[in-house]
Chains A and B, each alone.
Chain A
Amino acid sequence: EDQVTQSPEALRLQEGESSSLNCSYTVSGLRGLFWYRQDPGKGPEFLFTLYSAGEEKEKERLKATLTKKESFLHITAPKPEDSATYLCAVQGPQAGTALIFGKGTTLSVSS
């Protein structure tokens, strides 16, 4: 069964304290791994898509990486406005089917 597990469930950081969020997955034939940001009471906002092991994508203080079993979302020198829930999702082998989501990591950054 295809599965996505995110850790930790919650993470508290001081402003400027870098860290990483983990997304491990089990899927037969990965066609894409997605990272989203979700603010309270809002819909998820797309951040990155990774397609193959070794691929990396960056956006401001965020950097996503992918291996054959997991993905990391690295947050460098976070600011309070980076506080949100970060969701990881995978696309299985059948094109057009829905994404499978993990439960998310809730990040809190204090100044």
Chain B
Amino acid sequence: DGGITQSPKYLFRKEGQNVTLSCEQNLNHDAMYWYRQDPGQGLRLIYYSQIVNDFQKGDIAEGYSVSREKKESFPLTVTSAQKNPTAFYLCASRRAGTNTGELFFGEGSRLTVL
């Protein structure tokens, strides 16, 4: 079945450590996105990529980094520079070239900083 796989589902990190969240899709979508969700908040855009080897910052990119070396993969690294990293992270994808295609989401990764 086609879909988006995020891993790990739960992750615990000590302060000062970098962590990488995985996002893989087999939908043959060109565009991929990372959102952050906090309780009582809407989804906020961290980074997005519309094509391999290219990506753009979203509204809250500080303290995060991404890469897009393959069409299927868009990993997110939460660095020690991110001041409040505890959150629910969602990866999504969409067919490029569509006017307004919907986003398909993964099941999310919950990061907790101890």
Q: Does B64 contact A (CB under 8 A)?
A: no
Alpha-carbon distance A51/B41, docked complex (angstroms): 25
Q: Mark B28-52, 1 if CB is under 8 A from A, else 0.
A: 0001010100001111110010100
Stretch at the interface among B14-22, B70-78, B79-87, B94-102: B94-102
Q: Which size class do B's interface residues fall under? A: 20 to 34
Q: State whether B106 touches A43 (Cβ < 8 A).
A: yes
Interface of A is mostly: loop
Contact for B108 among A31, A36, A43, A98, CB less than 8 A: A43
* Tally of chain A residues near chain B (CB < 8 A): 26
Query: B107: which of A42, A49, A87 is its contact (CB, 8 Å)?
Result: A42
User: Smallest Cβ distance from A47 to chain B, in angstroms?
Assistant: 9
- Cβ of A77 under 8 Å from chain B: no
Chain B residue contacts of A44, Cβ below 8 A: 43, 90, 103, 105
Instruction: Annotate A49-69 by CB proximity to B: 1 below 8 A, 0 otherwise.
Output: 101000000000000000000
A98 touching B58, Cβ below 8 Å: yes
The reply to whether B108 and A41 contact each other, CB–CB distance below 8 Å, is yes
A102 to B43, CA, bound (A): 7
Choose from B40, B42, B48 the contact partner of A98 (Cβ within 8 Å).
B48
A83 touches B (CB below 8 Å): no
CA A89 to CA B42, docked complex, whole Å: 10
Q: A32-B99, A44-B90 are in contact. Are A98 and B45 (CB under 8 A)?
A: yes
Once bound together, how far apart are the Cα atoms of A103 and B106, in whole Å? 19
**Contact surface of B with A, Cβ cutoff 8 Å:** 4, 6, 31, 33, 35, 40-45, 48, 50, 58, 90, 92, 96-100, 102-108, 110
